[in-house]
Structure 1
Amino acid sequence: MASLIVVLLFGFLAGSQAAQSIEPRERNPDIDLTTPELIAKYGYPVESHMVTTEDGYILTLQRIPYGRNSTSRTNRPPVLIQHGLLSQSSDWVVMGPEKALGYILADAGYDVWLGNARGNTWSRKHTTLKPSSAKFWEFTWHEMGVYDLPAVIDYILEKTGEEKLFYVGHSEGTTMSYVMASERPEYNDKLRALISLAPVAHLSHTKTPFLKVIASAGDQIGWLTKMMGMNEFLPHSYLYNLMGYALCKDKAITQEICSNFIFLICGFDSKELDASMIPVIMGHDPAGVSTRTLLHYAQVIKSGKFRQYNHGLLKNLILYGSVVPPQYDLKKITAPVALMYGQNDFLADPEDVATLKEELPNVISYYKVKDDQFNHVDFMWATHAKTLLYDEVVSVMNKH
């Protein structure tokens, strides 16, 4: 966590100074484009949709209804792609046509919907609460699974007239789906298949330093963040655009620092990350998340259990009727599940994925990416993600 703060401070200073000398022609224009603007730029149709959850959060979806070389909306099964921690919908289009999963699925004949979880750049509205309110941020991936995904899935099925859809989740997007399918098991019948990229339920073997630091600090971190009013973690701002360009552009002496910082969190791999794309990525991510979401993951690490949020003894008794939170019953996940993992993933460690596989009753695919250096962010941004991973995703979907 300390190293993160140092990098951000350094980036602020360097970015602020460099911003004055940046020539417009030097900047990749994709840095400043929104998700719909990116999709339109590369010749794909795009729609934006708003969905209100049962507890009042207003979420934004982006839709690619068909591919670049087609205008037909018929016979196109819907697929919802859900981002991971600190991310947003642009993750699935930022690498461009023939490389990004959103475009690949649209070109493969699917009706693509890109989700945005509550609290990120695109989903910062509520029917009664404002992001400046601490109460707005009183959620974790539990609420995302119990409220966000059901609302989004029902909306997509209503709009498309379909009875089922495909779900592709990455990282936190997989966690949300396990919460939904176990806590609201009726939604299993609305899933053609649940495809998990870098699945995160168990975290006993995670190597991600900043989550392990939070876990070791325990309740003190939660108390401190609450006292300091730190309800939101890493919301996106123009500062990251400046940082990404000033520190991470080609020929910058600090470009290797950018790469190594990403690797420190997600697993080392210099081969699959195109360093010249880091400024574009940082033009969109990080996209913000509630501090409580990070604390929930830290609790999973500390307890060794995939269970609901620990509010403390008294509140646990009131909410759960027990001093400890209940575990999620993964046996209730009856939808077909494909688990796809990387050997070099610091967050979704292969041993934890193996544990998850044994707990799920209907695993249809257990796929290890055929590159032993494939890490957590490679699932989104790897140069050869199509041949290493996305072709397998399409293959699994075509069979179901």
Structure 2
Amino acid sequence: MASSILQALMLVVALSLCISSTECLTGDSIIEHSQSVDGGLCFNLIEPSGYNCLEHTAQTKDGFLLGLQRVSSGILNLGSQTTPPVLLLHGLFMGGDAWFMDSPNESLGFVLADHGFDVWVGNVRGTKWSHGHESLSDGDKEFWDWSWEEMALYDLETMLSYINSKTGSKVFVVGHSQGTIMSLAAFTQPDIVSMVEAAALLSPISYLDHITSKLVLNLVHMYLDEALGLLGMHQLNLKSDILTNMIESACDGHLDCSDMLASITGENCCFNSSRVDVYLEYEPHPSSVKNLKHLFQMIRKGTFARYDYGSIKNLLQYGKLKPPTFDLSKIPESLPIWMAHGGNDALGDVIDVQHTLKELKSKPKVLFLEDYGHIDFLLSTRGYEDLYDNMINFFRSCGNLNVQ
């Protein structure tokens, strides 16, 4: 417990220093800490592994410019792609690079391309591989006025519409963590779910009131999200020099950083800790304080609902004192869903997953892996045999697919 409190205090101190220096509040910090952002995700991470990749940009209804990458194996021509499109949706503080962090036989983005899928990589608003806004600067407070709700209702809708316009096909959706929150909320909307062929959800989340993550619970109980808002912070850029240096210093001599990761995600059985330096070249990506606050609301209230502005503003925004919930029973029973969750996942707790399953009209196919933590579902060294083969077989069962 003492170790978790120390970690929480370190984060609070680092964020406070970041605020006082305004480093995390400036748009320059995103570019400054994006490493090799020049040339895009295709150029930096996907093409060097021998895969075809094209950059795309799609604009949301509220003006955000989202980066999308279209990927196929080296033997396929993207211009004549006839295989089914699959959209990959990353988690919190991640970007589309998360699906390509390991070797081609271990990374889901590469694995799907090798099996003949038309892979589309999503990057939500505010991340390094998206391209800003049509009129706002990332230094503007309004640029960061969103949470996962807008990602679900605007970003995901835009991505699906764009892919559908390019392929003429419904889309298979794969989400991890925040990507599953977006998906489940969006699938309650008839106009969005009509563009989806099937969904595969890794560490599925709609309820968060039973999480066991020690560090996250400490931050929730300290009302860190409220404090950051009162201090005038709108952007969370965990790549700031101050925070990066503090964490590196702590990991060098004070804390076991594998324990720090476990205190957030749960014990990961199959995560390759020797590659942490590689992962940190790209992660974490920026997000908004409002997004963090929305997630913390879910933990405190036990609800899967729209953002809570408080009674008075809720009346103005929604016409009621409490924010409307996302009713999972509205997800069509006809939508094929596959879920994979783990016994050691401290963020996607088994009780919360069961809550989600009870509210769905359909009976999703469920894969439970007792020893898996939250990160294992993205970066497991056993991912192909434990997860991906099962997922691909599920997609094959959803139609007559021309995939390997």
Give the TM-score band, short-chain normalised: 0.7 to 0.9
C-alpha distance in 1 between matches for 2:263 and 2:313:
36
C-alpha distance in 1 between matches for 2:307 and 2:198:
27
2:10 to 6, 12, 16: 6
Distance verdict in 2 for CA 1:263–1:222, change over 3 Å: closer
- The answer for unaligned runs of 5 or more in structure 2 is 15-34, 399-404
Percent identical among aligned pairs is: 32
Give 1:222 shift.
Answer: 4.7
1:160 to 153, 161, 167: 167
C-alpha distance in 2 between matches for 1:373 and 1:166:
27
Distance verdict in 2 for CA 1:106–1:5, change over 3 Å: farther
So what's the TM-score if we normalise by structure 1?
Answer: 0.85
1:208–1:265 contact (8 Å) kept in structure 2: yes
Distance verdict in 2 for CA 1:48–1:2, change over 3 Å: farther
So what's the TM-score if we normalise by structure 2?
Answer: 0.84
Give the corresponding residue for 2:262: 263
C-alpha distance in 2 between matches for 1:237 and 1:385:
31
- Aligned to 2:394, what secondary structure does the other structure show? helix
2:65–2:130 contact (8 Å) kept in structure 1: yes
Encode CA deviations 1:19-39: one digit per residue, 9 max, x unaligned: xxxxxxxxxxxx858632211
C-alpha distance in 1 between matches for 2:360 and 2:279:
34
C-alpha distance in 1 between matches for 2:322 and 2:397:
41
Q: Would you say how many aligned residue pairs link Structure 1 and Structure 2?
A: 368
RMSD: 2.5
C-alpha distance in 2 between matches for 1:112 and 1:331:
29
- Report matched runs for 1:213-228 at 5 Å: 213-217=218-222, 221-228=224-231
Give the corresponding residue for 2:134: 127
What letter is aligned with 2:50? G
Distance verdict in 2 for CA 1:7–1:230, change over 3 Å: closer
2:174 is the alignment partner of 1:179: no
C-alpha distance in 1 between matches for 2:396 and 2:390:
10
- Aligned to 1:363, what secondary structure does the other structure show? coil
Distance verdict in 2 for CA 1:238–1:70, change over 3 Å: farther
1:102 to 96, 105, 109: 109
Give 1:215 shift.
Answer: 3.5
Give 1:209 shift.
Answer: 2.9
- Report matched runs for 1:22-171 at 5 Å: 35-36=41-42, 37-64=44-71, 66-71=72-77, 73-123=80-130, 125-162=132-169, 164-171=170-177
- Aligned to 1:46, what secondary structure does the other structure show? strand
Encode CA deviations 1:163-194: one digit per residue, 9 max, x unaligned: x0100001100101112111x22222211111
Give the corresponding residue for 2:32: none
- Aligned to 2:197, what secondary structure does the other structure show? strand
Distance verdict in 2 for CA 1:313–1:244, change over 3 Å: closer
- Aligned to 1:387, what secondary structure does the other structure show? helix
Give 1:320 shift.
Answer: 1.3
- Aligned to 1:388, what secondary structure does the other structure show? helix
What letter is aligned with 2:192? Y
- The answer for unaligned runs of 5 or more in structure 1 is 11-30
What letter is aligned with 1:329? D
